[in-house]
Amino acid sequence: MQTIGGLLIFVLDIWAIASIFNSKVETGTKILWILLVLILPLIGFLIWFFAGPRGNTTT
């Protein structure tokens, strides 16, 4: 079970980082958000999910 949980957190963090990278915020802000997700994988993801920048979702 630990492996599945770790893999799930890893995939969600990659998704968060990709979304942050594609957002329209300034570069410094992107770096800070990405560092938060990398340093605190679960907590950083949760903070990003509720308060972080989103990628460009308009088509």
**59 vs 48, which has greater pLDDT?**
48
pLDDT of residue 7: 95
Question: H helices within 1-59, ranges in order?
Answer: 2-21, 27-39, 41-51
Examine the pLDDT at 57 and tell me if it is beyond 80: no
Q: pTM score, two decimals?
A: 0.85
CA separation for the pair 39, 23 (Å, rounded): 20
pLDDT of residue 1: 73
pLDDT 10s digits, 21-56 = 999 999 999 999 999 999 999 999 999 999 998 776
